[in-house]
């Protein structure tokens, strides 16, 4: 008997990617064609109503409607599968579109409208607008943003300016040799000059090898400064955090940086951090001008290669750091720094006696003042200390020897000193050496048989 099998046919729409079937079977326009929030013929990514919502509300709306978080223009794919290139028009970031820019929309006032500006009407009190300016600098990251001495320059071989490339350089006065990444050597085709060198970092000392580049010129963006570079050694252990590069947006939020806003270049996404300039290029480190500001604010310096900003630039100062850059890894019990973890199998005890009278329970007052400094009284009430504590003591056998000599040494009738042999007590039984004595006797007899004269002299 055959078992009946029943199936339900499922139809898959073969329309273009810009269409999606709704539960009712009707065509559903993509968010880039019709705004799903207002059902109007304008893209969702340009919708002012959608942009006016908070970032959490916008994200929740995209998630509920299965809209791509990256482009905000399609129901048919997710952000991880999106191949569109997006750029925020407000912060120039390539990580999110303008519709998902954090913070308030540009057309929303940061200050509440006063009663005078409303014409004196008494109505509902308008809610006060709350802004988070720190998101303009730090973005959506949970850690504070900090800037270091990083500058955008042009680098090219001497006499070949047409081969110039833009690169970021890091200024480090704690290094004694300038370094360059492997990418730098690949860009200019440097293949010769490999040499061994010793690299000393916080992690320890290591022997490594790398190529060396010579006869390179470093030029500022305005073309006014040209600095010959020393020999660059190949090393990939260079700082590579592009979030620490100063930007005009950072300078715009600090009053004492207003005059340098237009002098700091925007982030160049095509340029990488390729060079670390050490103190072997003193001209590059010299400060020609500076902007200090308040004590707890970041400061700016004008170097020959351009302006740099140094310090924590977070406006709110409320971020939790994810990573901490330190030169000192661990502090041992003796106060020295070490990259190794300290031993946990150690015990440190410190006892503080309350009164000086406790120091004198076992010693006199003068001895106590000499032996103890009053800072650490460990053991003063447990062990009696004397000036002879650090001297080596006699062993048990030494004491027994002295006792034997004291009790058994005497002067005999001939007025001579007589002393016993100080054997160990109790004396051990001597071993049986008969075999050794017989062997020596046979050897002597054999020798005398060969030498009659010697035998005659010995017998006499």
Q: Given phi > 0 = left and psi -120 to 50 = alpha, else beta, which region is 119?
A: left
| Secondary structure E strands in 321-451 | 330-331, 337-338, 410-411, 417-418
Which residue range(s) make up the domain with 226?
146-312
Kindly report the average pLDDT of the chain as a whole number. 76
Q: Is 55 in the same domain as 173?
A: no
Flag whether 459 is in a domain: no
Q: Given phi > 0 = left and psi -120 to 50 = alpha, else beta, which region is 310?
A: beta
Show the DSSP H helices in 52-106 as ranges. Answer: 55-64
Q: Is 292 in the same domain as 159?
A: yes
Flag whether 137 is in a domain: no
Residue 15 has pLDDT above 50, yes or no: no
Q: Is 89 in the same domain as 172?
A: no
More confident residue, 284 or 32: 284
Whether 169 contacts 265, CB under 8 Å: no
Mean pLDDT over residues 197-224, rounded?
85
Q: Could you give the CA distance from residue 226 to residue 7 in angstroms, rounded to a whole number? A: 78
Of 390, 413, 446, which residue is a domain's last? 390
Flag whether 217 is in a domain: yes
Q: Is 89 in the same domain as 156?
A: no
- For the chain, what is the largest distance between any 2 Cα atoms, rounded to a whole number of angstroms? 152
pLDDT at 293: 83
Q: Could you give the CA distance from residue 52 to residue 398 in angstroms, rounded to a whole number? A: 96
DSSP run (H or E) holding 311: strand 306-312
Mean pLDDT over residues 319-328, rounded?
56
Mean pLDDT over residues 9-33, rounded?
55
Q: Tokens 């010959």 appear where? A: 228
Residue 118 pLDDT grade (very low, low, confident, very high; cuts 50, 70, 90):
very low
Of 100, 116, 131, which residue is a domain's last? 100
> Is the Cα torsion angle 292, 293, 296, 301 positive or negative in sign?
negative
Residue 234 has pLDDT above 50, yes or no: yes
Mean pLDDT over residues 162-179, rounded?
90
For 276-299, write each residue's pLDDT tens digit.
999 889 999 999 998 888 888 889
Q: Tokens 């440190």 appear where? A: 348
Q: In angstroms, what CA-CA distances link 287 with 169, 283, 301?
A: 16, 9, 6
pLDDT at 167: 92
For 171-189, write each residue's pLDDT tens digit.
988 888 899 988 899 889 8
Flag whether 441 is in a domain: no
Residue 227 pLDDT grade (very low, low, confident, very high; cuts 50, 70, 90):
very high
Nearest to 198 by CA among 210, 215, 180: 210
Residue 349 pLDDT grade (very low, low, confident, very high; cuts 50, 70, 90):
low
Q: Is 360 in the same domain as 257?
A: no
Six token digits for residue 77:
């794919």
Which pTM does this prediction carry? 0.42
- What CATH number is associated with residue 155? 2.40.70.10
| Secondary structure E strands in 61-149 | 146-147
Six token digits for residue 406:
């004291």
Other residues' Cβ atoms within 10 Å of the Cβ of residue 165: 15
Q: Is 162 in the same domain as 62?
A: no
Mean pLDDT over residues 73-100, rounded?
84
Whether 237 contacts 269, CB under 8 Å: no
Q: Is 308 in the same domain as 244?
A: yes
Flag whether 119 is in a domain: no
Residue 132 pLDDT grade (very low, low, confident, very high; cuts 50, 70, 90):
very low
DSSP per-residue codes, 192-236: ---EEEEEEETTEEEEEEE-EE-SEEEE-TTS--EEEE-PEEE-S
Q: Domain total for the chain? A: 3
Mean pLDDT over residues 82-103, rounded?
83
pLDDT at 378: 52
pLDDT at 438: 95
Q: Is 200 in the same domain as 85?
A: no
Q: Is 163 in the same domain as 248?
A: yes
Flag whether 344 is in a domain: no
Residue 318 pLDDT grade (very low, low, confident, very high; cuts 50, 70, 90):
low
Residue 366 pLDDT grade (very low, low, confident, very high; cuts 50, 70, 90):
very low
Q: Is 262 in the same domain as 372?
A: no
Specify the 3-state DSSP secondary structure of 285.
helix
Of 265, 295, 312, which residue is a domain's last? 312
pLDDT at 6: 56
Mean pLDDT over residues 301-315, rounded?
86
Q: Tokens 């095509």 appear where? A: 270
Percentage of the chain beyond pLDDT 90 is 16
Flag whether 248 is in a domain: yes
Residue 399 has pLDDT above 60, yes or no: yes
> How is residue 427 annotated by DSSP?
P
pLDDT at 313: 77
Q: Could you give the CA distance from residue 339 to residue 337 in angstroms, rounded to a whole number? A: 7
Specify the 3-state DSSP secondary structure of 165.
strand
């Amino acid at each position: 008997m055959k078992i009946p099998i029943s199936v339900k046919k499922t139809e898959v729409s073969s329309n273009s990617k810009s269409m999606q079937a709704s539960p009712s079977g009707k065509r559903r326009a993509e968010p880039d064609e019709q705004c799903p929030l207002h059902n109007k013929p304008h893209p969702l990514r340009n919708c002012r109503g959608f942009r006016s919502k908070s970032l959490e509300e916008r994200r929740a709306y995209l998630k509920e409607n299965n809209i791509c978080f990256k482009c905000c223009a399609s129901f048919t794919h997710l952000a991880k599968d999106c191949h569109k290139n997006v750029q925020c028009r407000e912060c120039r970031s390539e990580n999110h579109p303008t519709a998902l820019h954090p913070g308030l929309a540009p057309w929303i006032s940061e200050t509440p409208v006063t009663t005078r500006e409303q014409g004196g009407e008494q109505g509902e009190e308008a809610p006060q607008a709350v802004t988070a300016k720190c998101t303009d600098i730090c973005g959506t990251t949970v850690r504070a943003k900090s800037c270091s001495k990083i500058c955008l320059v042009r680098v090219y071989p001497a006499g070949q300016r047409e081969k110039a490339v833009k690169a970021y350089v890091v200024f480090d006065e704690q290094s004694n040799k300038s370094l360059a990444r492997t990418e730098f050597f690949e860009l200019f085709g440097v293949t010769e000059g490999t040499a061994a060198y010793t690299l000393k970092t916080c992690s320890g000392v290591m022997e490594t090898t790398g190529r060396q580049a010579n006869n390179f010129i470093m030029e500022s963006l305005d073309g006014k400064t040209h600095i010959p570079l020393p020999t660059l050694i190949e090393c990939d252990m260079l700082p590579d955090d592009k979030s620490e590069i100063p930007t005009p947006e950072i300078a715009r939020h600090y009053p004492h940086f207003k005059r340098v806003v237009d002098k700091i270049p925007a982030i160049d996404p095509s340029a990488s951090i390729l060079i670390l300039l050490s103190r072997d290029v003193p001209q590059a480190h010299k400060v020609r001008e500076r902007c200090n500001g308040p004590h707890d604010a970041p400061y700016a310096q004008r170097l020959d290669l351009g302006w740099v900003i140094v310090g924590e630039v977070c406006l709110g100062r409320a971020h939790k750091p994810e990573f901490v850059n330190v030169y000192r890894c661990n502090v041992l019990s003796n106060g020295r720094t070490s990259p190794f973890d300290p031993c946990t199998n150690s015990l440190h005890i410190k006892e503080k006696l309350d009164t000086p009278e406790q120091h004198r329970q076992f010693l006199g007052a003068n001895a106590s003042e000499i032996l103890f400094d009053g800072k650490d009284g460990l053991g003063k009430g447990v062990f009696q200390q004397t000036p002879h504590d650090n001297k080596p003591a006699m062993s048990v056998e030494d004491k027994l020897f002295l006792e034997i000599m004291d009790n058994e040494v005497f002067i005999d009738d001939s007025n001579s000193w007589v002393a016993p042999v100080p054997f160990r007590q109790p004396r051990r039984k001597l071993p049986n050496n008969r075999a050794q004595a017989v062997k020596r006797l046979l050897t002597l007899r054999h020798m005398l048989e060969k030498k009659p004269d010697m035998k005659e002299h010995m017998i006499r």
